[in-house]
Amino acid sequence: MNDTIIAGLLGLLEGLTEFIPVSSTGHILLAGHFLGFTSSGKTFEVLIQLGAILAIVGVYAQRLIHVFASAPQDPAARRFILTVLVAFLPAAIIGVAAHGIIKTILFETPILIASMLVLGGVILLWVDRLNLPERETDAMRLSPTLAFKIGLFQCLAMIPGVSRSGSTIVGAMLMGVSKRAAAEFSFFLSMPTMAGAFTYDLYKSRDLLNAKDIDLITIGFVAAFISGIFVVRGLLDFVGRHGYAAFGWWRIIVGTAALALIYAGY
């Protein structure tokens, strides 16, 4: 396959996996590894994620417009905006500080990525089976303190294969947030997180990109946006009915298969 086709496939994969707790970055890095796809400074793998995030903005557009429009008069709207920003803060600080290590070492270690997929799958299965109390059922009414703690969990996703959504969902559930509300708050938190990652990575990699890179990023970006819309629309209902066990098993299967291929020399 040529790079254009691979870029489209990786974009579809990004949109399908960004919002479920399976690590979209881990999936596209491993897929790129086995397909022989390389990008300048691993920028493609980061920048196409904003396409999936725009799917969230599209699905939640009416609610987001209402929140920002009512914020000057509504304390609850201002509180919600504050909670999301507070949760975003830890990842912003650590992401900037560790950007070089993440891109040049962690992104380039397929064994680590596959191992994290397996380990994260085991943890997700364990947490999903716990009879955890659900003290918070509204993702838009979490306290800033709770949101900050969830944001600390999100920092674990600096290691590819851990999963940004997975770490935030697990952290939220362990602190008494319902499964559905944990997934929805992960949606909201993804907006500033991935917008920030996109902006900072684009700035850091601006001298590495050429016309071909931009074309491939555009293809992946659009594909991620389209596939992301379908996932966002159906994920909350699926989680409410079935929990997260299916995603845990998926992680274990994919991670184990990737490790087998790596050790076989692929």
* 94 C-beta neighbours (distance < 10 Å), count: 16
Which pLDDT does position 73 carry in this prediction? Answer: 94
| CA–CA separation, 159 and 155 (whole Å) | 8
User: Is there a contact between 244 and 21 (Cβ–Cβ < 8 Å)?
Assistant: yes
Report helix angle 49-59 to 61-70, nearest 10: 70
| CA–CA separation, 198 and 178 (whole Å) | 29
Output phi, psi for 23, to 5 deg.
75, 90
Mean pLDDT, the chain, rounded, equals: 91
Query: Does residue 177 sit in helix, strand or coil?
Result: strand
Give the helix, strand, coil percentages of the chain, each rounded to 5. Answer: 80, 0, 20
User: Is there a contact between 49 and 198 (Cβ–Cβ < 8 Å)?
Assistant: yes
| CA–CA separation, 69 and 50 (whole Å) | 24
User: Is there a contact between 144 and 89 (Cβ–Cβ < 8 Å)?
Assistant: no
Collect all residues with Cβ–Cβ distance below 8 Å to 199 and sequence separation of at least 6: none
* 236 C-beta neighbours (distance < 10 Å), count: 17
For residue 80, give both structure tokens. 């919600």
Q: Dump pLDDT digits (tens) for 115-129.
A: 999 999 999 999 988
| Average pLDDT along the chain, 266 residues, taken 10 residues at a time | 89 91 92 88 85 86 92 94 96 90 87 96 93 91 95 94 93 94 92 89 84 91 91 83 91 96 89
Query: pTM value?
Result: 0.89
Tell me which amino acid residue 87 is.
A
Q: Dump pLDDT digits (tens) for 168-210.
A: 999 999 999 999 999 999 989 999 998 888 888 888 888 888 8
Query: Would you give the distance in Å from CA 106 to the centre of its chain?
Result: 16
